[in-house]
Homo-oligomer: A and B are copies of this chain.
Amino acid sequence: MTDSQETLLQKIQEQGDLVRKLKAAKESSEKVKTVQSFYGNLEEINKHLSQFSYLSGHMPSKVDIETHNKLDCNVHFQNYPHLKRWWYHMRSFSDSERSLFPESYHLNCMVKNYNANNKSVDQQIKEEVSKLLALKAQLGSEDAAPQKFVLKTAKGTRDYNPQQMTIRNNVLQKIITVFKRHGAECIDTPVFELKEVLTGKYGEDSKLIYDLKDQGGEILSLRYDLTVPLARYLAMNKINTLKRYHIAKVYRRDNPAMTRGRYREFYQCDFDIAGQYDLMVPDAECLKVVTEILDALDIGKYVLKVNHRRLLDGMFEACGVSADMFRSTCSTIDKLDKSTWDEVRTEMINEKGVTPDAADRIGEYVRLNGSIELADKLLQDEKLSKSKGAVEGLEGIKLLLNYCELLGIKDKILFDLSLARGLDYYTGVIYEAVLTQPIKIGNEDQTIGSIAGGGRYDNLVGMFDSKNKQVPCVGVSIGVERVFSVLEAKLAAGDISVRTSDVDVYVASAQKNFLDERMKICAELWNAGIKTEQSYKKNPKMLNQLQHCEENGIPLAVILGESELKRGLVKIRNISTRQEEEVPRENLVQELKSKIELLDIKEMNGPLAK
C-alpha cells in the first residue's frame, strides 16, 4: 500500500467517525421524540419504563409526577409490570420530596434540542456523508462502483500469510526448543482478563489497554502482557513454584510503527521462574536462556545489559532524590537508549522536579558500565556505600556476574547503570538484550536494538493475594516481532527463501479421465502418511501440474498414464532433475518412502541446511 493511500484511508476513517457520531446523536434525539409522543399509551409507557430502573441511577423528575397524576389509578396494572413498579415507586414520595424533584430529566431537554435542530442535523449528516463518499471514490478511482467499506485489518494489526507463518513457526520452534531444554512447562491464559486484574500494574502505560465494550456482565480488557496474567494465575491457583513459558499475542493501543516491527497486536514469548529460591540462581538461568535463544536465531552479535532496581533506587537516594520520585526518575532514565543525556537531564529537572545538582550527580553514574570490577569499585563509592539499597543491588550484581561466568556467558554481559526498564513492577535485577551491529538486509543495514528484556518482580503475585502472600518471580520476554520483521525483510530482499508447505509427492496424470485413479492413489499415500497433493480439476494440463510442483518445491511427482497402468506400472518423476522412473504400482508407497528418506538426508547435509 502506498503512503498516500494510507493517508487517504486515515482521512476516510476520520470522516467515517464523524458521520457515525452525527448519526448517533440524531438517533438518540429521535428516541427521545418517541418518548414525548407516547404519554397517552399505557403499553408504550410500560415498555419505556422497562428500560429505566429508578433504583440504579435514574432520577425521578417533575415529568414523572405529571405523568403519574395524569394516569388513571384504576389501570389494570397486572398487564404492565414496569408501569406498576414505577407507579408504586412514584406514589412512595411525599409531597415535600416531590417538590425537590428537578423540572425534567435530560431526555426532555434533548427533545427540545431535537425539535429545534433536527433539520440541520439531517442536512449536516448528508453533507458529511457526501464528503466521505468523495474520499472513498478517490481511493477506488479506477473503480466506478463505490466500495461497500474499506477492506482492511484493524489499525496496527496484520494478517500473517503462509510465508510469514512459516518464518514465525520456525522462529518460535527454535525458542520453544530452548525453553524446553531448561525444563519449562507451557501454560496459556485467556486473551481478556477482568479489567480489575490489569488495573494499577502498568503505571503510565495503562492508557494503552484495550477495553471490551460493556455488553452487560463483566468489565473486561485485552491482556497487555503475559506477566500480569501469570501473576494472577499463580495467586488464583495458589501455586508457589513454576517454571513456565507462554507464547501468545498481547494488545497495546500504542501508535504503531509497523515497518519497525511494532504492532498493536503482537507476540510475546515469555519464560519465567516463580519460587522462593537462592539469590540470583534463577536470574542467571534466565540470562543463559536469552543467550541460547539469540545464538539459535543467529541474527547477529548482541550484548546483555544488566542492572538492579535496588541499585538504581540507592543511586537516586545517594544523589538526593526523594523516595516518592524514584519511579518517575527511573522512567526518565529509561529513555537514555533513545535520547541524549542532556535531553534526559532536562526532562528530569523540568518535568520530574529533580534538582539540577541531583541530576548532574545521577549523570555521573549512568554513564558508567563495565563488569564485576565496576561493581567492586562502586561498593567503595563514598555516597553509594552509605545506601543500603545500593549495596544490596551491587552485591546482587556481583553474584549474578559470578554465576554468568560459571554458565560461560560472561563475555556477553554488560553491567550498565543506564539500564532502567519502563515497567513499574520490577524489584531486583533487570536486563535487556541489544543487538550491537546493524543487520544486513539486501544492500541496506537495519538497526533493531532491543530484542529481549526482563527482570525480577517479587511483589506482583502478592498484589492478587488476599493475604498479600508473595511469590518471587524472575523472567524474560523475547521480542519476536522484531525478529520476524528482520526475517521478513530478508525474505523480501531475496536473502532467504521459505517453503510454505511440506508436500513431498504430487499425483499427476498426463491424460484425461484419470481423476478416479488419482484419488485412489492419493488416499493410499495419505493413509501411508505421505504428504501428497493433486489437482482439484478433473482434467488438469500436464504443464500446469508440473509447474505447481516447481513453484511449491514439491520434489516428487507420480505420473499416471494409460499404457503404464495397463502394464501395472506408474512413473515417479524427480522434479528438479527431471529424471523419470517406472515402478510397479503395488510398490509405489515403498518406493516413494525410500526416495523421500533419501531427499531428507540430502537436504539435511546439503546447502539448504539451516
Contacts and interface: CB of A to CB of B under 8 A. Distances in A.
A342 to B, nearest CB: 30
Contact of A151 (B232, B277, B407, B519): B232
Given A57-B21, A162-B187, A530-B181, A106 B109 contact: yes
A220 interface: yes
B158 A190 contact: yes
Contacts of A165: 185-188
A71 interface: no
Given A151-B236, A155-B217, A18 B56 contact: yes
A145 B292 CA distance: 45
A326 interface: no
Contacts of A526: 181-182, 288, 292
A2 to B, nearest CB: 16
Nearest to A537: B278
Contacts of A502: 180, 183
| CB-based closest 10 A-B pairs | A25-B57, A162-B185, A277-B536, A157-B190, A106-B106, A211-B213, A183-B533, A406-B519, A165-B186, A147-B466
Nearest to A278: B538
A189 interface: yes
Interface string A202-213: 000000001111
A322 interface: no
Contact of A466 (B140, B277, B533, B552): B140
A159 interface: yes
How many of chain A's residues touch chain B, expressed as a range?
Answer: 35 or more
A188 B159 contact: yes
Given A168-B188, A181-B530, A183-B531, 7 more contacts: A102-B112, A106-B106, A153-B194, A166-B186, A183-B502, A183-B532, A212-B212
Interface string A465-504: 0110000000000000000000000000000000011110
Contacts of A464: 148, 151
A340 interface: no
Contacts of A55: 18
Interface string A248-259: 010101000000
| Count of this chain's copies in the oligomeric assembly | 2
Interface string A505-531: 000000000011001101100110111
Interface string A18-62: 101110110000000000000000000000000000011111010
A88 interface: no
A196 interface: yes
Contact of A281 (B102, B189, B236, B515): B515
A413 interface: no
26 contacts: A17-B217, A100-B116, A101-B116, A102-B113, A104-B109, A109-B109, A143-B466, A145-B466, A148-B466, A151-B197, A151-B236, A154-B220, A157-B190, A158-B190, A159-B233, A165-B185, A165-B188, A183-B503, A183-B552, A211-B212, A213-B213, A278-B537, A292-B527, A406-B516, A408-B520, A408-B527
A159 B187 contact: yes
Interface of A: 13, 17-18, 20-22, 24-25, 55-59, 61, 100-106, 108-110, 112-113, 116-117, 121, 140, 143, 145-149, 151-155, 157-162, 165-166, 168-169, 180-194, 196-197, 210-215, 217-220, 222, 232-233, 235-237, 244, 249, 251, 253, 265, 273, 275, 277-278, 281-282, 284-285, 288, 292, 403, 406-409, 464, 466-467, 500-503, 515-516, 519-520, 522-523, 526-527, 529-533, 536-538, 552
Contact of A109 (B105, B168, B244, B532): B105
A237 B182 CA distance: 41
B500 A193 contact: no
Contacts of A102: 109, 112-113, 116-117
A360 B561 CA distance: 53
Contacts of A24: 57
A152 B182 contact: no
Contacts of A101: 116
Nearest to A207: B215
